[in-house]
A = this chain, B = another copy of it.
Protein backbone atom coordinates (compact mmCIF):
# COMPACT_ATOMS: atom_id res chain seq x y z
CA UNK A 1 0.00 0.00 0.00
CA UNK A 2 1.41 3.32 -1.04
CA UNK A 3 2.02 5.89 1.66
CA UNK A 4 2.03 9.63 1.66
CA UNK A 5 5.78 9.43 1.53
CA UNK A 6 5.89 7.71 -1.82
CA UNK A 7 3.35 10.11 -3.19
CA UNK A 8 5.45 13.04 -2.12
CA UNK A 9 8.50 11.57 -3.76
CA UNK A 10 6.77 10.82 -7.00
CA UNK A 11 5.20 14.26 -7.08
CA UNK A 12 8.41 15.92 -6.05
CA UNK A 13 6.91 17.79 -3.12
CA UNK A 14 7.02 17.48 0.65
CA UNK A 15 4.91 15.33 2.89
CA UNK A 16 3.14 18.39 4.18
CA UNK A 17 2.03 19.40 0.75
CA UNK A 18 0.57 16.02 0.03
CA UNK A 19 -1.27 16.16 3.29
CA UNK A 20 -2.60 19.58 2.38
CA UNK A 21 -4.04 18.43 -0.85
CA UNK A 22 -5.77 15.46 0.67
CA UNK A 23 -7.37 17.66 3.25
CA UNK A 24 -7.61 20.68 1.01
CA UNK A 25 -7.65 22.90 4.03
CA UNK A 26 -4.74 25.11 3.02
CA UNK A 27 -3.81 26.88 -0.14
CA UNK A 28 -1.80 24.85 -2.58
CA UNK A 29 -1.04 26.09 -6.08
CA UNK A 30 -3.06 24.44 -8.76
CA UNK A 31 0.02 23.14 -10.41
CA UNK A 32 1.46 21.32 -7.41
CA UNK A 33 -1.99 20.15 -6.48
CA UNK A 34 -2.34 18.53 -9.85
CA UNK A 35 1.05 16.88 -9.59
CA UNK A 36 0.08 15.43 -6.26
CA UNK A 37 -3.27 14.23 -7.50
CA UNK A 38 -1.61 12.55 -10.44
CA UNK A 39 0.90 10.86 -8.23
CA UNK A 40 -1.84 9.62 -5.94
CA UNK A 41 -3.67 8.22 -8.87
CA UNK A 42 -0.70 6.55 -10.32
CA UNK A 43 0.10 4.84 -7.05
CA UNK A 44 -3.48 4.05 -6.20
CA UNK A 45 -2.90 5.85 -2.96
CA UNK A 46 -5.38 5.40 -0.13
CA UNK A 47 -4.92 7.34 3.09
CA UNK A 48 -4.48 5.26 6.19
CA UNK A 49 -7.38 5.98 8.48
CA UNK A 50 -5.59 4.98 11.67
CA UNK A 51 -2.64 7.19 11.02
CA UNK A 52 -4.85 10.14 10.27
CA UNK A 53 -6.87 9.51 13.33
CA UNK A 54 -3.83 9.20 15.51
CA UNK A 55 -2.27 12.37 14.22
CA UNK A 56 -5.37 14.48 14.11
CA UNK A 57 -7.22 13.14 17.09
CA UNK A 58 -10.31 12.72 14.93
CA UNK A 59 -11.52 9.40 13.69
CA UNK A 60 -14.11 10.50 11.15
CA UNK A 61 -16.32 7.87 12.57
CA UNK A 62 -19.48 8.13 14.55
CA UNK A 63 -20.87 5.44 16.76
CA UNK A 64 -24.43 4.27 16.96
CA UNK A 65 -25.79 2.39 19.92
CA UNK A 66 -29.19 0.86 19.43
CA UNK A 67 -31.09 -1.08 22.01
CA UNK A 68 -32.27 -3.70 19.55
CA UNK A 69 -31.69 -4.66 15.99
CA UNK A 70 -34.79 -6.74 15.62
CA UNK A 71 -37.48 -4.16 15.93
CA UNK A 72 -39.03 -2.63 12.88
CA UNK A 73 -37.55 0.78 13.59
CA UNK A 74 -33.99 -0.06 13.58
CA UNK A 75 -33.46 -0.52 9.88
CA UNK A 76 -35.00 2.76 8.89
CA UNK A 77 -33.27 4.70 11.58
CA UNK A 78 -29.89 3.32 10.71
CA UNK A 79 -30.54 3.93 7.06
CA UNK A 80 -31.22 7.57 7.76
CA UNK A 81 -28.12 8.03 9.82
CA UNK A 82 -25.83 6.13 7.57
CA UNK A 83 -26.75 7.70 4.29
CA UNK A 84 -26.30 11.19 5.66
CA UNK A 85 -22.98 10.42 7.26
CA UNK A 86 -21.57 8.40 4.48
CA UNK A 87 -22.25 11.19 2.05
CA UNK A 88 -20.04 13.31 4.25
CA UNK A 89 -17.28 10.70 4.15
CA UNK A 90 -17.74 9.64 7.75
CA UNK A 91 -18.21 6.10 8.74
CA UNK A 92 -20.52 4.47 11.13
CA UNK A 93 -19.70 1.98 13.84
CA UNK A 94 -22.58 0.37 15.58
CA UNK A 95 -23.32 -1.84 18.47
CA UNK A 96 -26.38 -3.03 20.33
CA UNK A 97 -27.47 -3.29 23.90
CA UNK A 98 -30.07 -6.03 23.61
CA UNK A 99 -32.26 -3.94 25.87
CA UNK A 100 -30.24 -4.80 28.93
CA UNK A 101 -28.87 -2.06 31.10
CA UNK A 102 -25.40 -3.46 31.48
CA UNK A 103 -25.01 -4.19 27.83
CA UNK A 104 -26.24 -0.78 26.86
CA UNK A 105 -23.72 0.89 29.11
CA UNK A 106 -21.07 -1.44 27.94
CA UNK A 107 -21.82 -0.68 24.34
CA UNK A 108 -21.62 3.04 24.87
CA UNK A 109 -18.28 2.69 26.57
CA UNK A 110 -17.11 0.36 23.86
CA UNK A 111 -17.82 3.04 21.31
CA UNK A 112 -16.09 5.70 23.34
CA UNK A 113 -13.02 3.51 23.47
CA UNK A 114 -13.09 3.42 19.70
CA UNK A 115 -12.46 7.14 19.46
CA UNK A 116 -15.74 7.90 17.81
CA UNK A 117 -16.06 11.61 17.19
CA UNK A 118 -19.62 11.40 18.43
CA UNK A 119 -22.13 8.78 19.46
CA UNK A 120 -25.76 8.59 18.50
CA UNK A 121 -27.73 6.71 21.07
CA UNK A 122 -31.12 5.08 20.84
CA UNK A 123 -31.68 3.22 24.05
CA UNK A 124 -34.47 2.52 26.42
CA UNK A 125 -33.37 0.91 29.63
CA UNK A 126 -30.45 3.05 30.68
CA UNK A 127 -31.36 5.89 33.05
CA UNK A 128 -31.41 9.59 32.28
CA UNK A 129 -28.80 10.15 34.94
CA UNK A 130 -26.43 7.76 33.31
CA UNK A 131 -26.81 9.54 30.00
CA UNK A 132 -26.17 12.88 31.61
CA UNK A 133 -23.06 11.49 33.20
CA UNK A 134 -21.83 10.05 29.92
CA UNK A 135 -22.46 13.33 28.20
CA UNK A 136 -19.85 14.90 30.42
CA UNK A 137 -17.12 12.70 29.02
CA UNK A 138 -15.10 13.78 26.02
CA UNK A 139 -17.23 12.08 23.41
CA UNK A 140 -20.30 14.10 22.51
CA UNK A 141 -23.52 12.11 22.52
CA UNK A 142 -26.84 12.56 20.76
CA UNK A 143 -30.09 11.00 21.79
CA UNK A 144 -32.64 9.61 19.40
CA UNK A 145 -36.31 9.17 20.24
CA UNK A 146 -35.67 10.24 23.76
CA UNK A 147 -35.96 13.48 25.61
CA UNK A 148 -33.77 14.26 28.58
CA UNK A 149 -34.25 17.74 29.96
CA UNK A 150 -30.60 18.47 30.76
CA UNK A 151 -29.55 17.25 27.34
CA UNK A 152 -32.29 18.82 25.35
CA UNK A 153 -29.91 20.36 22.84
CA UNK A 154 -28.81 16.86 21.99
CA UNK A 155 -32.19 15.20 21.79
CA UNK A 156 -34.27 14.32 18.80
CA UNK A 157 -37.71 13.19 19.66
CA UNK A 158 -41.23 12.71 18.48
CA UNK A 159 -44.10 14.70 19.90
CA UNK A 160 -45.87 11.68 21.30
CA UNK A 161 -48.56 13.70 23.00
CA UNK A 162 -49.66 15.09 19.68
CA UNK A 163 -49.50 11.62 18.20
CA UNK A 164 -51.79 10.24 20.87
CA UNK A 165 -54.09 13.15 20.29
CA UNK A 166 -54.22 12.56 16.54
CA UNK A 167 -55.00 8.90 16.94
CA UNK A 168 -57.96 9.45 19.20
CA UNK A 169 -59.14 12.43 17.21
CA UNK A 170 -59.19 10.31 14.04
CA UNK A 171 -61.58 7.96 15.76
CA UNK A 172 -63.72 10.78 17.09
CA UNK A 173 -63.83 12.27 13.61
CA UNK A 174 -65.24 8.97 12.45
CA UNK A 175 -68.06 9.31 14.92
CA UNK A 176 -66.74 7.13 17.70
CA UNK A 177 -67.21 8.13 21.30
CA UNK A 178 -66.75 4.88 23.15
CA UNK A 179 -63.07 4.52 22.67
CA UNK A 180 -60.91 2.02 24.49
CA UNK A 181 -57.20 2.60 24.91
CA UNK A 182 -54.45 0.03 25.19
CA UNK A 183 -51.43 1.87 26.50
CA UNK A 184 -47.76 1.01 26.70
CA UNK A 185 -45.77 0.64 29.93
CA UNK A 186 -46.24 3.96 31.68
CA UNK A 187 -42.70 4.27 32.89
CA UNK A 188 -41.75 4.81 29.30
CA UNK A 189 -42.12 8.45 28.41
CA UNK A 190 -43.34 7.65 24.92
CA UNK A 191 -46.15 5.59 26.29
CA UNK A 192 -47.32 8.04 28.91
CA UNK A 193 -47.22 10.98 26.54
CA UNK A 194 -49.31 9.14 24.00
CA UNK A 195 -51.87 8.47 26.69
CA UNK A 196 -51.86 12.14 27.64
CA UNK A 197 -52.67 13.03 24.07
CA UNK A 198 -55.53 10.57 24.07
CA UNK A 199 -57.00 12.17 27.16
CA UNK A 200 -56.70 15.63 25.73
CA UNK A 201 -58.50 14.60 22.56
CA UNK A 202 -61.34 13.13 24.57
CA UNK A 203 -61.60 16.18 26.72
CA UNK A 204 -61.52 18.64 23.87
CA UNK A 205 -64.40 16.80 22.32
CA UNK A 206 -66.46 16.57 25.46
CA UNK A 207 -65.99 12.87 26.02
CA UNK A 208 -65.30 11.84 29.55
CA UNK A 209 -62.27 9.65 30.13
CA UNK A 210 -63.38 6.30 31.50
CA UNK A 211 -60.62 4.42 33.27
CA UNK A 212 -62.39 1.12 32.68
CA UNK A 213 -61.56 1.58 29.04
CA UNK A 214 -57.86 1.85 29.74
CA UNK A 215 -55.55 -1.12 29.73
CA UNK A 216 -51.81 -0.99 30.22
CA UNK A 217 -50.08 -3.37 27.84
CA UNK A 218 -46.50 -4.27 27.15
CA UNK A 219 -46.04 -2.76 23.70
CA UNK A 220 -45.99 -6.27 22.27
CA UNK A 221 -48.51 -8.31 20.39
CA UNK A 222 -49.60 -10.07 23.55
CA UNK A 223 -50.36 -6.76 25.22
CA UNK A 224 -52.85 -6.04 22.48
CA UNK A 225 -54.68 -9.31 22.77
CA UNK A 226 -54.70 -9.14 26.56
CA UNK A 227 -56.09 -5.65 26.41
CA UNK A 228 -58.91 -6.57 24.12
CA UNK A 229 -59.68 -9.66 26.14
CA UNK A 230 -59.87 -7.52 29.23
CA UNK A 231 -62.38 -5.15 27.71
CA UNK A 232 -64.49 -7.93 26.28
CA UNK A 233 -64.45 -10.04 29.42
CA UNK A 234 -65.60 -7.05 31.39
CA UNK A 235 -68.44 -6.57 28.96
CA UNK A 236 -67.54 -3.00 28.31
CA UNK A 237 -69.11 -1.20 25.44
CA UNK A 238 -66.76 0.35 22.87
CA UNK A 239 -66.72 0.70 19.13
CA UNK A 240 -63.08 1.55 18.67
CA UNK A 241 -59.73 0.97 20.27
CA UNK A 242 -56.53 2.92 20.02
CA UNK A 243 -53.39 0.94 20.59
CA UNK A 244 -50.28 2.77 21.67
CA UNK A 245 -48.23 0.94 19.08
CA UNK A 246 -48.72 -1.18 16.00
CA UNK A 247 -47.62 -4.41 17.59
CA UNK A 248 -50.39 -4.19 20.12
CA UNK A 249 -52.82 -3.22 17.39
CA UNK A 250 -51.92 -6.38 15.59
CA UNK A 251 -52.51 -8.44 18.71
CA UNK A 252 -55.83 -6.75 19.35
CA UNK A 253 -56.98 -7.35 15.80
CA UNK A 254 -56.00 -10.98 15.96
CA UNK A 255 -57.86 -11.47 19.21
CA UNK A 256 -60.93 -9.65 17.96
CA UNK A 257 -61.10 -11.72 14.84
CA UNK A 258 -60.67 -14.94 16.73
CA UNK A 259 -63.57 -13.93 18.90
CA UNK A 260 -66.09 -13.37 16.21
CA UNK A 261 -65.55 -9.74 15.30
CA UNK A 262 -65.53 -8.80 11.66
CA UNK A 263 -62.95 -6.13 11.06
CA UNK A 264 -63.18 -3.25 10.62
CA UNK A 265 -66.97 -3.18 10.78
CA UNK A 266 -67.38 -4.49 14.30
CA UNK A 267 -64.42 -2.65 15.70
CA UNK A 268 -62.21 0.18 14.52
CA UNK A 269 -58.57 -0.11 15.46
CA UNK A 270 -55.82 2.46 15.20
CA UNK A 271 -52.15 1.87 15.91
CA UNK A 272 -49.08 3.99 16.39
CA UNK A 273 -45.66 4.02 14.68
CA UNK A 274 -46.50 2.99 11.14
CA UNK A 275 -44.09 0.12 11.12
CA UNK A 276 -43.62 -1.81 7.93
CA UNK A 277 -46.06 -4.58 8.67
CA UNK A 278 -48.90 -2.14 9.37
CA UNK A 279 -49.49 -2.28 5.68
CA UNK A 280 -49.57 -6.07 5.67
CA UNK A 281 -52.17 -6.49 8.36
CA UNK A 282 -55.73 -7.28 7.43
CA UNK A 283 -57.39 -4.87 7.28
CA UNK A 284 -54.45 -2.59 6.62
CA UNK A 285 -53.79 -0.60 9.74
CA UNK A 286 -54.58 3.06 10.15
CA UNK A 287 -51.87 4.46 12.34
CA UNK A 288 -49.72 7.39 13.36
CA UNK A 289 -46.53 7.81 11.47
CA UNK A 290 -43.33 7.86 13.47
CA UNK A 291 -40.74 9.29 11.10
CA UNK A 292 -37.76 7.36 12.41
CA UNK A 293 -35.76 7.58 9.24
CA UNK A 294 -36.05 11.34 9.15
CA UNK A 295 -35.11 11.48 12.77
CA UNK A 296 -32.05 9.39 12.08
CA UNK A 297 -31.06 11.74 9.31
CA UNK A 298 -31.47 14.65 11.64
CA UNK A 299 -29.24 13.08 14.25
CA UNK A 300 -26.59 12.75 11.59
CA UNK A 301 -27.06 16.37 10.61
CA UNK A 302 -26.62 17.50 14.16
CA UNK A 303 -23.36 15.64 14.35
CA UNK A 304 -22.22 17.07 11.06
CA UNK A 305 -23.04 20.56 12.24
CA UNK A 306 -21.68 20.39 15.77
CA UNK A 307 -18.71 18.15 15.34
CA UNK A 308 -17.65 18.49 11.76
CA UNK A 309 -18.56 22.15 11.48
CA UNK A 310 -20.78 21.90 8.49
CA UNK A 311 -22.68 25.13 8.14
CA UNK A 312 -25.46 24.48 5.73
CA UNK A 313 -27.78 22.16 7.59
CA UNK A 314 -30.98 23.13 9.29
CA UNK A 315 -31.70 21.52 12.59
CA UNK A 316 -35.00 20.42 14.03
CA UNK A 317 -35.32 18.66 17.35
CA UNK A 318 -38.93 17.72 17.76
CA UNK A 319 -40.76 15.88 15.02
CA UNK A 320 -44.46 15.97 14.42
CA UNK A 321 -46.30 12.70 13.94
CA UNK A 322 -49.01 12.42 11.33
CA UNK A 323 -52.04 10.30 10.63
CA UNK A 324 -51.82 7.50 8.08
CA UNK A 325 -55.30 6.55 7.00
CA UNK A 326 -55.80 2.96 5.92
CA UNK A 327 -58.63 0.50 6.29
CA UNK A 328 -58.83 -0.45 9.93
CA UNK A 329 -61.20 2.30 11.00
CA UNK A 330 -64.70 3.00 9.73
CA UNK A 331 -67.54 5.34 10.62
CA UNK A 332 -69.29 4.49 13.85
CA UNK A 333 -72.79 3.19 13.35
Contact = CB atoms under 8 A, between A and B. Distances in A.
Interface of A: 1, 46-51, 53-54, 59, 61, 69-72, 74-76, 78-79, 82-83, 86, 91-96, 98, 107, 110-115, 138, 250, 254, 257, 276-277, 280-282
A54 B94 CA distance: 21
B96 A94 contact: no
A287 to B, nearest CB: 13
- 4 closest A-B pairs (Cβ-Cβ)? A50-B53, A277-B277, A69-B79, A282-B282
A82 B96 contact: yes
Contact of A96 (B83, B113, B250): B83
B61 A70 contact: no
* Copies, count: 2
A20 to B, nearest CB: 19
A107 B91 CA distance: 10
Given A46-B112, A92-B95, 17 more contacts: A50-B115, A54-B54, A69-B79, A69-B82, A70-B76, A74-B75, A79-B96, A83-B96, A86-B110, A91-B93, A91-B95, A91-B110, A92-B93, A94-B94, A254-B282, A277-B277, A280-B280
A61 B83 CA distance: 20
B92 A94 contact: yes
29 contacts: A1-B138, A46-B112, A47-B113, A48-B54, A49-B59, A49-B113, A50-B50, A50-B54, A54-B54, A61-B93, A69-B75, A69-B76, A69-B78, A70-B75, A71-B75, A72-B276, A78-B94, A82-B94, A86-B96, A86-B110, A91-B95, A91-B110, A91-B114, A93-B93, A250-B280, A277-B280, A280-B280, A281-B282, A282-B282
A73 B306 CA distance: 33
A54 B49 CA distance: 9
